[in-house]
Amino acid sequence: MMAPSKMSFLIASLIVFAAATPSAMAFSFPAILPCIPFLPRIPLFPCIEPTPLKEPTECRTPLLKMLPCAGFLAINSSVAVPPSTCCEGANAVGMEGAAICYCRVVDGEIQQILPAPMNFTRMFSLTDECGLHFRLDALAENCDGDGAPPMTLPSPPAGN
């Protein structure tokens, strides 16, 4: 059995430690990653809210940034690694507030702007090939088919 004075010292130390810990962590883990709206926040890794915060209304425009990936993504492609312009574009989609549009990559809708059918294995490998800050396969499990904006907005009904 611990002497009461020792016990209260221990408790006081724990309180000081707990109070000191959050600011210490804030210094260790600067917020450099964009938040992905539909994923739970990762403890200890604060994320920055990308700008603009307004969700895109269509995904074609943001995903055009990934066109340099077309050669690498194509079925039967002989391009072994994605070019740096592809990786920059793939990261830019999320950094510029359109992370929700990664859902249109993993569900294959991005093929509407690609010149050839996509090799899904290669698409998922962009996570490692480009050092993306999130896993495309993990996103795929969180994408709800109706939750993401369409690739293109439907044209207004004729006669209006």
Ligand X SMILES: *[C@@H]1O[C@H](CO)[C@@H](O)[C@H](O)[C@H]1NC(C)=O
Please tell me what DSSP assigns to residue 61: H
* Residue 122 binds ligand X (CB under 6 A): yes
Candidates 38-46, 82-90, 117-125, 149-157: pick the segment binding ligand X (CB under 6 A). 117-125
Count the site residues for ligand X by CB under 6 A.
Answer: 7
Q: In 3-state terms, the chain is what percent helix, strand and coil (to 5)? A: 50, 5, 45
Bond into 52 cis (ω within 30): yes
| Closest listed residue to residue 89, CA positions, set 39, 132, 48 | 132
DSSP secondary structure, 102-158, as one string: HHHHHTSGGGGGSSS-B-HHHHHHHHHHTT-SS-HHHHHHH--TTTSPPSSPPPPPT
* Residue 121 binds ligand X (CB under 6 A): yes
| Angle between helix 120-129 and 84-95 (nearest 10) | 80
To the nearest whole angstrom, how small is the minimum distance from the Cβ of residue 120 to ligand X? 8
* Residue 75 binds ligand X (CB under 6 A): yes
To the nearest whole angstrom, how small is the minimum distance from the Cβ of residue 150 to ligand X? 25
Candidates 10-18, 39-47, 116-124, 145-153: pick the segment binding ligand X (CB under 6 A). 116-124
* Residue 78 binds ligand X (CB under 6 A): no
To the nearest whole angstrom, how small is the minimum distance from the Cβ of residue 109 to ligand X? 18
List the one residue from 117, 135, 138, 147 that touches ligand X (CB under 6 A). 117
* Residue 81 binds ligand X (CB under 6 A): no
* Residue 133 binds ligand X (CB under 6 A): no
Cα separation values, 98 from 12, 55, 105, Å: 46, 7, 12
* Residue 155 binds ligand X (CB under 6 A): no
What does the binding site for ligand X look like in residue numbers (CB under 6 A)? Answer: 75-76, 116-117, 119, 121-122
